[in-house]
Amino acid sequence: MTLFNPAASGGDGPVHDVLLVAGSRAEAARLAPVVTAMVRAGRIEPVPVAAGQDPMAVHEALEGMGVPAAVTLLLGEPPHSQVAAAAALAVRLDELMVDRDPSAVLLSGGGITAVIAAQVAFWRQIPVVYLEHGADVDSCPFPEGGNLRVISQLTSLFLRCGSQTSQTIPNGGPNTIVVGDTMAASGLTDRKLAALAERARQGEVRIALLEGAAAPVVAATPGLLASHPDVEVVFIGLPADAELVGHPRVTVLAHSALPDVVGILAVSTLGVTDRRYAEREGLDFGLPMLLVERARHPDLVPGAIPADPAAVLTAMAQLLAAYPHGRCRYADPTAAGRAEHALAWMFGLEANPTPTSAAGATGQSTSSAPGTED
């Protein structure tokens, strides 16, 4: 079943329309700012699509980002395997693309939704545009690494975060444009978080995003703050340590809006959790993650850190050493506008693939444009 939202899309408007297909919360977080940029520019009609094995979670994520899904693809009975999910997604996406006949399909991530959407669009001779995320993590985990290789063979236009080479995404050529990390365009609603994110972008601080309910992580935090004066901590959930809560370099995300979570993820240097699902989602968002064993309940996951504060502190220090200047080199709030501009160029609505004016794309101010890669 496909749920259409007439209030979110349709009617008289631009000649070109783009399906922005998200199959996870992380993909929704990267694509939502591009939808906003398209609406602001008014020359490309965005059609946000909530898909994946849990489409309602993606639907809620898009709504939380201020971009209601125009289409939600329901798979009926929960698929019992990746093969079943792929088959159901292929049928739903094919029906949608035949019905809409879009000018292009915009994808991100390396999940099953992205690879199936790329294949269906290719079969229907619809241009595929791939939006890279700003991850500094392993780009070839299973199965995402294989999916990305397939997607790269079917993509017409690559929107890159930077000029760093990738094992899966081609580097260089006329179909590769550097736009930056669109997650950084997520507007922070909390003033304290917004100020913290700006300091991180300026290189003044590095942010550690920590699990507030993980006792070994909380116990390691005082040592982290003492040994790394440039590090500020953001806890997901309230930690059971009143002194830490009152620390000037500690912020608590107890019940924050999704844009706040995404905005902080985009500028954080590392994340630490004792939940396997949270670790996987953090990696999907592009954040280097550490997984800690649960006290008295070992996860028996290879590479998990023992539930010991000293071991957690050592692991955090080692990961911080890999990013002495943080991870904000791609975190540019104007990235979504550049992505919209690149699509407009692909459709012949712009003479250049990147903005040339000081105002940047879609009226957003920018100090510099990454430009195209040679």
pLDDT at 294: 86
pLDDT at 368: 38
* pLDDT tens-place string over residues 328-362: 878 888 999 999 999 999 999 999 999 986 444 44
CA dist., res. 229 & res. 75, Å (int): 49
* pLDDT tens-place string over residues 117-137: 999 999 999 999 999 876 555
- 35 closest CA partner among 340, 286, 346: 340
On whether both 23 and 109 belong to a single domain, the answer is yes
pLDDT at 367: 35
On whether both 236 and 340 belong to a single domain, the answer is no
pLDDT at 100: 96
On whether both 43 and 108 belong to a single domain, the answer is yes
On whether both 132 and 259 belong to a single domain, the answer is no
Pair of tokens at residue 322: 């890999």
**What are the backbone dihedrals phi and psi of residue 120, each rounded to the nearest 5 degrees, phi first?**
-65, -45
Q: 132 in a domain, yes or no?
A: yes
Q: What is the dihedral of CA 191, 192, 195, 201, to 10 degrees?
A: -120
Q: 372 in a domain, yes or no?
A: no
Q: 368 in a domain, yes or no?
A: no
What's the pTM?
0.86
User: CB count, 10 Å around CB of 226?
Assistant: 9
pLDDT at 372: 36
On whether both 115 and 214 belong to a single domain, the answer is no
Q: 328 in a domain, yes or no?
A: no
Q: How far is CA 94 from CA 7, 97, 100, in A?
A: 23, 5, 10
CA dist., res. 331 & res. 219, Å (int): 30
Q: Which H helix or E strand runs over 156?
A: none
CB 320 within 8 A of CB 269: yes
Distance of CA 324 to the CA centre of its chain: 22
On whether both 51 and 198 belong to a single domain, the answer is no
Say whether 189 sits in a helix, a strand or coil.
Answer: coil
pLDDT at 135: 57
Q: 178 in a domain, yes or no?
A: yes
On whether both 338 and 316 belong to a single domain, the answer is no
On whether both 247 and 148 belong to a single domain, the answer is no
Domain count, the chain: 2
On whether both 171 and 294 belong to a single domain, the answer is no
HSE at residue 138, side-chain half, CA atoms within 13 A, is 9
Extract the residue ranges of the chain whose pLDDT is less than 50: 1-2, 4, 6-10, 358-374
CATH number of the domain that residue 315 is part of: 3.40.50.2000
HSE at residue 76, side-chain half, CA atoms within 13 A, is 9
On whether both 132 and 178 belong to a single domain, the answer is yes
pLDDT at 297: 63
Report the residue count for the chain.
374
On whether both 255 and 207 belong to a single domain, the answer is yes
Distance of CA 128 to the CA centre of its chain: 18
Q: How far is CA 67 from CA 10, 61, 101, 317, in A?
A: 14, 9, 21, 38
CA dist., res. 286 & res. 133, Å (int): 7
User: CB count, 10 Å around CB of 308?
Assistant: 15
pLDDT at 296: 65
Distance of CA 65 to the CA centre of its chain: 12
CA dist., res. 232 & res. 202, Å (int): 14
Q: Domain of 103? A: 2-185+333-363
On whether both 157 and 240 belong to a single domain, the answer is no
